[in-house]
Each structure stands twice: as C-alpha cells, then as structure tokens.
Structure 1
Amino acid sequence: MSADERALAVEPSLTTAWGRTRLGAFLSQPISWVFFYGSLTDAPLGVPGHFTLQNYVKAYSDPEAYPLLLNSFIFGLGASGLSLVFALTLAWITIRTNAPFRRLFELTAIIPNILPPILVSISWVMLLNPSNGLINALFVKILGLGKGPFNIYSMPGLIFVESLILTPLAFLIVAAALKSMDPSLEESAKTLGSNEFGVMRRVTFPLIRPAILAAGTLNFVRAVESFDTPAIIALPARIEVFTTKIWREALGSFPTNHNLAAAYGVGILAVALVFVYLYRRFTSQVENFSTVTGKGFRPHQIDLGGWRYAATSVALLLLILLVVLPILVLLLVALLPYYHVPTWQTWQRLTLDHFRYVWATPRVHKAFINSLFLALVGATVCMILASLA
C-alpha cells in the first residue's frame, strides 16, 4: 500500500470531502458561468458582445448600492439571529428538559419545512397587515386603538417572518447536537460542584457552539438569497435587498438589463461563497467533537420543577407562531367568499366554493402534476448526487 493510500485509509473523510468539493464545483459551473459571462459583456446572453467592466461600475458605484448592501446584511443577520434564538429555545426545552408534551413539540417543530415560504409570508401579511390584518384588527377592537400596533411592511416585519421560515432548519441542527452530546461531560462538571446553569454555560453551550455557528451561517446565506419573503413584504415597503434588485433589473423594469442583474448576482454569489466556506469550517468543528462508540447517548434532562409548565408555554407560543397561525389563517381565508376581517356573522358565510373552483380547474390539475413531478425527480436526483459525494 502506498503512502497516499495509507493516508486515505487513516482519514477516509478526506476522500468524502474531496468528492463533495468536486461534485459541488461541477454542479455550480453552469450557473456561475452564466453570472460571470453576463456581468462581463455588454450584450444579452447568446448574443455576441464585447468584454466590459461597465456593469460592475454601474452596479456598485450607484448611490443605492450601499443601502442595498446594508439592507441585505441587516436582513440576513437579523433573520438568522432571531431564528437561532427561536431554535435554541425550542431545542433546549424539547431535548434537555422535562417539560410536558416536549416530544409532541419536537415532532411539530419541523412542520414549517413542508410549507412553501411564499405561503408563510402571505399568511403573515394577512395577520399583520397594518390596514386589515387579523391580529391588528383584534388589538384595535379589544384595546380601542386608532390603528393596529404592528406593521408587517417594515424591516422588523421582514426579519420576523423570514426568521420563522428559517427556524426549523436551525432547530434540526441544534437539536441533533444536543442529542449527540456525551452526558458524562456534564456529569463530571456536576461532580466538581457546578450547578445546572454553570454546566450549561461552561459545558453544554461551548460544546454545541460549532453547531450554533453552523446553523446561523447557513441561515444567513438562505436569508440573503431569499426572494419569496422580500417579494411579498419588502417590495411593498420599498425596502430593497439584493434579490429584489436583481428581480427589478432582470424582470421588473423596462427595458430589462440582464447584464446589470448578473453583476448584482455575482456580488450575492461572492457573499454566499464566503459564508458557505465558514459553514463548512463550523461543521468540521462539529465533527471533531464527535466520538464514535458502541453505545448510544441519552441526553441529560434538567428537572425544571414548577417551571416546566412555563417552559411548555414558551414552546407552545413558538409553535403557534411557526405552525398554528399560518395554517389557520390560510384555511380561514380559503373558506371566506372574499377577504375581510372576521365578525360573528363570518361563520355563516363560510363556503367551499374556492375549493370547488380549484378542483374543477384543469390548469390547477396540471400545476399539481408538474409540482409532484418536479418534487419526485428533484428529490431522486438529489439523493443520487448525495450518494456519489
């Protein structure tokens, strides 16, 4: 056996990492080529043109470029940070405490993953629209306010909705780290005299810090690249981020300027690559903390005493925000003949006409078949590519 073969036998993860790198580079080449080619030419894609840097000059010398960059970073950092707060809270309650119904909360926390982000955004617009949002209308009626206290069409509203969309992924990453921790490390800290808070501060959170950073980094990239939520909330609020600017240049203006959109796209691609690199660094640190043994670990549970019901209330509130409210408002609006703030007479007006219309529309049938086909083929291709890596 050669020296190289012995090295790979000792470190089999090197071959996996190298395979992932080659596969990722291969898959990203077509998209990257389109971006770079489009940004460096003065003609549309497929039309002969001349090499130029004018697209970058125009894009990043524009006075709007700095607010655009600032808004994108505020949006990305705010959404990823708030999603981490939600995910950490929910993961700690469901995995590490004796709160009632924690297993049910753990199962339902990933339900938002099956909801399209655009539907989640639309549902929260129906709830927090400043003029006729259901929650705002409820506050106005109960407290006698002149207008609703919440405005979804704002940067805080944009961050809040995107953080709810990102929370399930962060929850899965953090919960997995909490489950796989060796409880003997915490027991040793207790033996040395640390209380529960000291164990969490000195042992638990330092050990899952790489997982927290990985989840935050990945969610930052997802937020910066997100278009669904900014399209529904940021555009009406006249808040410009990278993705809405690209849409305006490529599709939302006349004449369209795909070359300028490509220049903005290269910028967001560069930011994403930096944070994807950081994500890989953090996940490699998670792997370094893991120990392969012949026995499984049972996570250490903290007895909250009377506070376990308060913890359950917090977890329930988070799940209401993540799951219950978006689904309920979509179902309610689907049953209304037209959108309006519900009254006591609303229950007499509920109808299934919209469902009948959808069921009887051939275009909807075709859209459903296309969606199912894309989901099955996409999932199959992803599994094949993942196995090759």
Structure 2
Amino acid sequence: MADITDTTKGARAGWRAPRFDWTMAVFILLAVLLVILIVSPLSRLVIESFSDPKTGEFTFGNFAEVFSRKRYLTAYWHTLQLAAVTVVMSVFMALPMAFAVSRTDTPGRGLMYFAVLGAFIVPPFLGAIGWILLAGPNAGWINQVWTSLTGSEEPLFNIFSMWGLAFVIALNVFPLIFIFATSAFDLISSEMEEAAAIHGAGPMRTTWLITLPLALPAILGASMLVFLETIALYGTPALIAIPARFNVATTQLTTFFEYPARIELAMAFSVPMVLITVLLLAAQRLMLRGGTVAVSGKGGAREPMKIGRWKWLFLGHGVIVALLAVVLPAAILVTTSFSVAWAKPFSFGNLTLANYREVLFEQETMRNALMNTIQVSLSGATICTVMGFVLAYMIVRKLVPLAPVLAFLSVAPVAVPGIVLAICFYAAYAGPPLSLYGSSLLIIIAFVTRFLPIAFVSCASGVRSMNPELEEAVRIHGGGRFRALAEVVAPVLKKSLMGVWILVFVICSRELSTAMFLSSYQNRVISILTLDLSEQGEYEMLAAMGVVLLVITTSVVAIGIRMLGRDFMLRRN
C-alpha cells in the first residue's frame, strides 16, 4: 500500500500541466486578422452602394442613377471596347513569341525573354509617358521625324486615341499571354506534330491544326486576364484617355470624388466591374480545368520544330515587340531625363544633370515620394510574403477550423479591381474611428490585401509539394509548429519565398490604382506624383524620377535572376 502511495506521489510530482500552444493562438489570431483585412473593406462595397447618402436607409437609387446617366453607360461601353482591342493586340504580340520560344528552333529566344521581362518591369505609367514623348501628335519624336522627312502637317501617330491607348496597354500586359501560352506549349508532346509531318503537313499547317487547338484553353484564359487587367487599369487611361476625351470606367470613378464626394455612386458604379471580374475569373478557372493535354498533362518528348525561313519572321516579330515595349520607351525616358527641354533636337547644349540633382537632393516632394515608394514596397512585400506563407501553411495543413473559407478569403481580392479596392479602403479606414487617411500605413495595408493572393497561391503550391513527415519529425523531438516552419518549411521553400518577395516588391513599386484614393500630400508615392508632373508638363524631372525607379526595380530583379534563375518572375503557378 505504501508502495502504491509513493508511486502516486511520484507521478504527481513529475506531472506538468500542458503548455499553452502559442502556435495555435497565433494561427487563430492571423485568421481573424485575415477576416478583418478582407471582409471589412469589401463589405463597404455592398453597404455603401445600397445606402441612401442622406438617411443611410436601404435603396436601389444609386444603381438607378448610375444606369440612367448616358455618360456612365458610355464609360462602360468604352471600357469594354478598349479591353477587347487590347486583348487582340496582346495576343498578336505575345502568341508568336511564345510559340517561337517553346516549340521552334527560332534564334534569339533570350531577346524575347528580355522583351517579356522588360515589359513587366517597366511600370504602365512610365510606359505611357514614354509613348507620349514618342508619339504625341504635336511634339512626339516620331512625329517630329515624320514631319521633317515628309513636310506633312498631319502626325504619323496620335497616341491620344482609343487605338493609341489600347496599343500602350497591350505593350504592358502581353506578358500575361506569353506566360500562359508558353506554359501550355511546353506541355504538348511533339509526337502528334511529328505524325502530322509524316503525313505531309507543313510546320504552319501542323501548328494551326494541332498545336494551337491544344493550347487554346490556356490562351483564352490568359486573354480573360488581360481583359480584366485592362478594365481595372487607371494610370495609362489617366495619362492618355483623359486628353483624348475617351472616358473609361476607371477615369469616371475619379469624378465621383470631386467635391462633394459621392462615395455611394462610386460604389454602385464599381459593382458591375466586380461582377464582370468574378464571372470571367470563374470562366477562366473552368476553362483551365478542362482536362486538355495543354494545361493538365505532364507533356511528352518535345523536339524543336524546324520551321525553315519562318524562323526569321518570328525573330523579326520578337525584335519589333522588344523595341516597342522596352527599348524605345526606356531610351526616350533616359534621353529626356538628361535634357534641359525634351522637345528640342539633340545637342550637347541641351544635356544636363540638373534633373537628377533636383529629384535626388533638391526637390523634397520628389525625394519624399521616392522614399515613400521604397518604404511601402519593402513593407508591403515583406508583410505580404510572411503572411501569405503562414496562411498557406496553416490552411494547407488544415491546422485551423474553416480552412476552405480562409483559403477563399485569401484569394478573394483578385476579384476586385485595384481602384475599386482603394475606394473600399477609403470608405472603411480613411475616416473615424481609425482616420488613417494621409498615412503610409493605409497604403501598406491596401497593398498587402491586394497582393496577398500572389503570395498565398505561390506558397500554398510549395507547401503542398512538401511531405509533412519532415515537420512531424521536428514535433516528435519536442519542437513546435513555428520551429518546424522556421527550420524545415522556410529553408526548403526559401527560393520560392524570395521570388514572391521580389515579385510583390516590383508590383508595389509600380502600383497606381490601389494608391489612387489613399495617398495625400504627405504620403504620395512615385506613381501618384507622376500624374501631377505630367499635368504640369514637367517631363524632364518626371523622366529622371522614373529612371531612378527603374534602376531600383531592375537591380532587385537582377539579384533575383542571379539567385533564382532567369525566368523566376515568368513562371505560372
């Protein structure tokens, strides 16, 4: 009996209360933060659009006013026209390049990758400025050369038109189609093409009858993304469409914030844009799940198709796209940044370093905008990557309740155009009780919300590829979930995480739509300041500021290429 008593006492003495699982507490806290981050601003879209501005009561009056005004309906129609033309132009630019790189023996593939990567790095608003300087109807360099050679008073190009606007946007968004099409072409076995060749079909006939139909779902899916990117873009339309008097949805949205601001109308006007986005994203997902060889198979043996003299045509096409998308805009920006007056012919007397001196040392507004851009980009990329990584781990491993719901919330911002998301954040957080308007924190929160889907999807793909036994081994030896994350999962996925960070950093540095309604005089970023300088006609300093931004982002991407490989930003997860 004494032995039993002693044993019981010994067991009690060795007993320890179970430690509180801080890991799970952090996971639940992060899940709550995700709900607040996504649901709070997006709910404003519904609440404000159905609220009477005077009484706050439920009403359909906002939608009635939106759909009864011809100006608003015209903006919708112009947006759909613009998006359709942009898709056609983007396909024409990207598809031959994707086919040449993936399926043929065309030389100069590195040049084509350069065109795609360069088009991604150059922000849309800088590309638009470059083409205004190149093809403006009065002082554009191309039109000046045309006038001097022909004596014609009519400009060769007028960038201030719907066609000019679609052309400039297409030069920026065609990489989307290139990435999807290349991924599809890479998964197609060359056996069927070889069989067609045996039966007498030439390279182009084989491509038209076999290769393109197999890749068609991916191409259509990418075209839908280009369509959505076009209807959501603000910077390029603000620079080109407004002077062209071509009203589109995003430029129309800004008019609702003229005094007195009518947020309820802005929300109601935004709802059709969100619905279009949701429908096209759903259609794209169904299309890419169609089970075709191009998008779901593992591919087979692939031999480059020998296309004879056609390869020089493909090479010429790639050279032209690289010139139009990267070389010409970058060259005119660099030239303008060193000019006293950009419209004057080249001469040593017109060269100066004063623009860079003002941007970097003398103009406090520009220096602050540059520092704000770096700050929000670094913060946004870091928070987004860490949050996306932890969310992906706890959702994929099903460590918290309602994991599918959290997964849906993590990717939900994809369905909301950036400028609409900015309006939602303005309505939710600009006023009391938080009163965040005028602080960089509001822009950082909006950027994290907007680009969280990029980090989450990429990290979730990496976590799924890992065997959970590695993490369980850490836990068996007494480690917690955070230790498993820090010592096992993160090191294995470090290249993926670094790629996500660089990608989000570059996107944040060039983002304009999301920052549009959230920046004030104190927290302006470069993209916002670009619009102000363009309206003032100060293209020389604008170009200098843009070149500094390009140097920063290009350096970051170059580091990524050095460490992660040439195409780390061009992979489709």
Q: TM-score, normalised by structure 1?
A: 0.85
Alignment of 1:81-230 (within 5 A): 81-230=88-237
Counterpart amino acid of 2:267?
A: A
Q: Does 1:37 align with 2:37?
A: no
Report Cα offsets for 1:335-363 as digits up to 9, x if no partner: 101231424xx233211111111221454
Report Cα offsets for 1:128-179 as digits up to 9, x if no partner: 1111111111111111111312111111111111111111121111112112
Q: 1:84–1:215: 8 Å Cα contact kept in structure 2?
A: no
- Give the drift of 1:67: 1.8
Q: 2:95–2:181: 8 Å Cα contact kept in structure 1?
A: yes
Alignment of 1:327-346 (within 5 A): 327-343=330-346, 346=347
- Give the drift of 1:192: 3.6
Q: Which residue of 2 aligns with 1:322?
A: 325
- Give the drift of 1:297: 5.1
Structure showing greater relative contact order (alpha-carbon pairs closer than 8 Å, 6 or more residues apart): 1
Counterpart amino acid of 1:274?
A: L
- In 2 relative to 1, CA 199–309 (structure 1 residues): closer, same or farther, beyond 3 Å? closer
Q: Which residue of 2 aligns with 1:264?
A: 269
SS in 2 for 1:145: coil
Structure 2 Cα separation of the partners of residues 24 and 93 of structure 1:
43
Structure 2 Cα separation of the partners of residues 297 and 36 of structure 1:
49
SS in 1 for 2:242: helix
Structure 2 Cα separation of the partners of residues 348 and 305 of structure 1:
50
Structure 2 Cα separation of the partners of residues 60 and 98 of structure 1:
53
Structure 2 Cα separation of the partners of residues 265 and 25 of structure 1:
22
Counterpart amino acid of 2:68?
A: S
Structure 1 Cα separation of the partners of residues 188 and 109 of structure 2:
19
Structure 2 Cα separation of the partners of residues 178 and 288 of structure 1:
10
Q: TM-score, normalised by structure 2?
A: 0.59
Report Cα offsets for 1:292-351 as digits up to 9, x if no partner: 66xx756432333344333322210111001101101111111101231424xx233211
Report Cα offsets for 1:258-311 as digits up to 9, x if no partner: 111111111211111111111212222367645666xx7564323333443333
Counterpart amino acid of 1:258?
A: I
Q: 1:73 aligns with which of 74, 80, 83?
A: 80
Greater CA deviation, 353-362 or 147-156? Answer: 353-362
Number of matched residues?
A: 358
Q: Which structure 2 segments of 5+ residues have no match?
A: 1-32, 390-455, 462-573
Structure 2 Cα separation of the partners of residues 79 and 263 of structure 1:
26
SS in 2 for 1:110: helix
Structure 2 Cα separation of the partners of residues 71 and 376 of structure 1:
36
Structure 2 Cα separation of the partners of residues 199 and 25 of structure 1:
51
- Give the drift of 1:31: 3.8
Structure 2 Cα separation of the partners of residues 212 and 249 of structure 1:
36
Counterpart amino acid of 2:314?
A: A
Q: 2:185–2:294: 8 Å Cα contact kept in structure 1?
A: no
Structure 1 Cα separation of the partners of residues 301 and 350 of structure 2:
52
RMSD: 2.5
Alignment of 1:267-346 (within 5 A): 267-285=272-290, 289-290=294-295, 299-343=302-346, 346=347
Counterpart amino acid of 2:269?
A: Y
Larger Rg: 2
Report Cα offsets for 1:185-225 as digits up to 9, x if no partner: 22233234432222112210011001110110000000011
Q: Which residue of 1 aligns with 2:407?
A: none
Structure 2 Cα separation of the partners of residues 337 and 106 of structure 1:
34
Structure 2 Cα separation of the partners of residues 82 and 25 of structure 1:
39
Counterpart amino acid of 2:170?
A: S
Greater CA deviation, 146-155 or 92-101? Answer: 92-101
Q: 2:184–2:295: 8 Å Cα contact kept in structure 1?
A: no
Q: 1:90–1:318: 8 Å Cα contact kept in structure 2?
A: no
Q: Which structure 1 segments of 5+ residues have no match?
A: 1-22
- In 2 relative to 1, CA 135–25 (structure 1 residues): closer, same or farther, beyond 3 Å? farther
Q: Which residue of 2 aligns with 1:360?
A: 361
Structure 1 Cα separation of the partners of residues 186 and 196 of structure 2:
18
Structure 1 Cα separation of the partners of residues 460 and 297 of structure 2:
24
Counterpart amino acid of 2:352?
A: T
Q: 1:255 aligns with which of 260, 268, 288?
A: 260
Q: Which residue of 2 aligns with 1:19?
A: none
- In 2 relative to 1, CA 347–93 (structure 1 residues): closer, same or farther, beyond 3 Å? farther
Q: Which residue of 2 aligns with 1:56?
A: 63
- Give the drift of 1:59: 0.6
Identical amino acids, percent of aligned pairs: 27
Greater CA deviation, 365-374 or 320-329? Answer: 365-374
- In 2 relative to 1, CA 167–202 (structure 1 residues): closer, same or farther, beyond 3 Å? same
- In 2 relative to 1, CA 351–280 (structure 1 residues): closer, same or farther, beyond 3 Å? same
SS in 2 for 1:98: coil
Structure 2 Cα separation of the partners of residues 182 and 306 of structure 1:
23
Report Cα offsets for 1:228-265 as digits up to 9, x if no partner: 11111111111111111111112xx2222111111111
- Give the drift of 1:65: 3.3
- Give the drift of 1:24: 10
Q: 2:136–2:157: 8 Å Cα contact kept in structure 1?
A: yes
Q: 2:341–2:350: 8 Å Cα contact kept in structure 1?
A: no
Q: 1:217–1:276: 8 Å Cα contact kept in structure 2?
A: yes
Structure 1 Cα separation of the partners of residues 316 and 59 of structure 2:
59
